[in-house]
């Protein structure tokens, strides 16, 4: 029973959390510069939103008994997993059907700016064998599936330490009278 309840709450909150990440992604890929600036703070708020969702989970289920660290960890891992699935699905749909290379063009425009090229040269990236032309060619060849795989990889790697911390916000002890 507790496993099903934990999974159900993780699905519910994971969907909400994933939608927040989707909004942040839409801000990031937007042509509007002011919307793009809101993307970074929203991404940086991710851990705190996760901690708050963990706290909400604790409040909702504390009447059914204690919430151990392992149950909280299970909830947290599932929460981030479901949110990652929502974001990956939305990112794939966006990059496959709506983007038409706009995000790549934005990045190519940034790479073609003289300031960026000067930084590129000063950081000795050319010494490592990578040229701006090669980087531009690589950006042009990125497929929607590659972007989706990168999102999944990054989120899974970041979700594990976040889940370890978020689980602390879910722990409860029954009050004894």
Q: pLDDT by residue (tens digit) across 1-20?
A: 678 889 999 999 999 999 99
Average pLDDT, the chain: 87
pLDDT of res. 128: 61
CA 92 vs. chain centroid, Å, equals 14
Q: pLDDT by residue (tens digit) across 76-111?
A: 999 999 999 999 999 999 999 998 888 888 888 887
Q: Enter the tokens of residue 134.
A: 């090669």
Q: pLDDT by residue (tens digit) across 28-59?
A: 888 888 888 888 898 899 899 999 999 999 98
- Angle, helices 2-29/69-93, rounded to nearest 10 degrees: 40
Q: Three-state secondary structure along 17-60? A: HHHHHHHHHHHHHCCCHHHHHHHHHHHHCHHHHHHHHHHHHHHH
pLDDT of res. 110: 81
**Every domain of the chain and the residues it spans:** 2-97+148-170
């Amino acid at each position: 029973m507790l496993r099903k309840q934990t999974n159900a709450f993780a699905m519910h909150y994971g969907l909400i959390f994933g939608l927040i990440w989707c909004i942040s992604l839409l801000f990031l890929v937007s042509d509007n510069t002011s919307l793009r600036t809101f993307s970074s703070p929203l991404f940086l708020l991710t851990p705190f939103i996760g901690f708050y969702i963990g706290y909400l989970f604790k409040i909702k289920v504390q009447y059914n008994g204690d919430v151990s660290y392992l149950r909280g960890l299970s909830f947290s891992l599932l929460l981030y997993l479901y949110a990652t699935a929502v974001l990956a699905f939305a990112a794939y749909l966006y990059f496959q059907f709506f983007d038409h290379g706009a995000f790549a063009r934005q990045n190519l425009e940034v790479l073609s700016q003289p300031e960026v090229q000067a930084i590129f040269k000063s950081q000795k990236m050319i010494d490592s064998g990578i040229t701006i032309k090669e980087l531009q060619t690589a950006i042009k060849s990125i497929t929607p599936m590659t972007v989706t795989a990168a999102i999944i990889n990054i989120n899974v790697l970041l979700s594990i330490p976040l889940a370890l911390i978020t689980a602390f916000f879910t722990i409860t002890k029954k009050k004894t009278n």
